[in-house]
């Protein structure tokens, strides 16, 4: 992925409205990575610098280039209010009218909702993993039982009889 990323970075180097950048999350970029929820490497984020989204697409050059072409452009935000439809403008204005404390509280509530969704997901995955392991053991025991009951010998006898 690194060669594709470097090529994209060069292609977007002269853009006045968007860019493709590397951040070293183990050095000076660690605070930026921490504040944006980067937990694994490589992680690709995009969007408004104040509210980056996870990129989930392909990691080859063509996939990345197509995504950049379609998505790396100014988007509706408080800095680009003229790009917003009426509903988004009203939502931004509602948030701008909130006190800093109320806005922080609302952000915390939504972040807690995200954390709860993640926790629910992880819990369900753990249950699925345990069920999978149980099913795997049951399957292995069943296979061993069938083999112990003479399947291999039956196949040998059948093959021997076919030769006769």
Q: Which of 74, 99, 119 is the last residue of a domain?
A: 74
Which DSSP state fits 80?
G
11 and 69 share a domain? yes
Is 97 a domain residue?
A: no
57 and 116 share a domain? no
Q: What pLDDT, on the 0 to 100 scale, is given for residue 4?
A: 87
Is 80 a domain residue?
A: no
Q: What pLDDT, on the 0 to 100 scale, is given for residue 104?
A: 96
d(CA 155, CA 71): 60
The phi-psi region of residue 47 (left if phi > 0; otherwise alpha if psi is between -120 and 50; otherwise beta) is left
Q: What pLDDT, on the 0 to 100 scale, is given for residue 37?
A: 84
pLDDT, tens digit, 9 for 90 and up, residues 116-152: 999 999 999 999 999 999 999 999 999 999 999 999 9
Q: What pLDDT, on the 0 to 100 scale, is given for residue 82?
A: 93
Q: What pLDDT, on the 0 to 100 scale, is given for residue 107?
A: 94
Length of the chain: 164
Is 36 a domain residue?
A: yes
d(CA 51, CA 47): 7
68 and 114 share a domain? no
Please indicate whether residue 95 or residue 39 has the higher confidence score (pLDDT): 95
pLDDT, tens digit, 9 for 90 and up, residues 38-68: 888 888 988 877 788 889 999 999 999 999 9
Q: What pLDDT, on the 0 to 100 scale, is given for residue 96?
A: 97
Is 16 a domain residue?
A: yes
Which DSSP state fits 59?
-
Is 67 a domain residue?
A: yes
**Average pLDDT, stretch 97-109?**
97
Q: Which two tokens stand for residue 63?
A: 């996939």
- Answer yes or no: pTM beyond 0.75: no
Question: Domain range holding 18?
Answer: 2-74
8 and 64 share a domain? yes
Cis peptide before 42 (omega within 30 of 0): yes
Asked if 65 and 5 touch (Cβ cutoff 8 Å), the reply is no
Mean pLDDT of all residues belonging to the chain: 91
């Amino acid at each position: 992925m690194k060669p594709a990323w470097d090529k994209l970075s060069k292609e977007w180097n002269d853009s006045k409205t968007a860019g493709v950048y590397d951040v070293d999350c183990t050095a000076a970029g660690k605070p930026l990575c921490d504040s944006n929820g980067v937990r694994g490497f490589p992680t690709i984020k995009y969007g408004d610098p104040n509210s980056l989204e996870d990129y989930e697409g392909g990691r080859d050059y063509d996939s990345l280039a197509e995504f950049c072409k379609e998505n790396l452009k100014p988007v509706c935000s408080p800095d680009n209010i003229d790009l917003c439809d009426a509903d988004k403008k009203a939502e931004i204005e509602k948030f701008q009218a909130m006190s800093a404390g109320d806005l922080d509280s609302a952000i915390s509530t939504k972040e807690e909702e995200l954390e709860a969704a993640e926790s629910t997901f992880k819990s369900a995955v753990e249950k699925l993993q345990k069920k999978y392991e149980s099913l795997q053991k049951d399957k292995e025991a069943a296979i061993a039982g069938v083999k112990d009951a003479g399947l291999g010998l039956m196949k040998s006898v059948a093959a021997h009889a076919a030769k006769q």
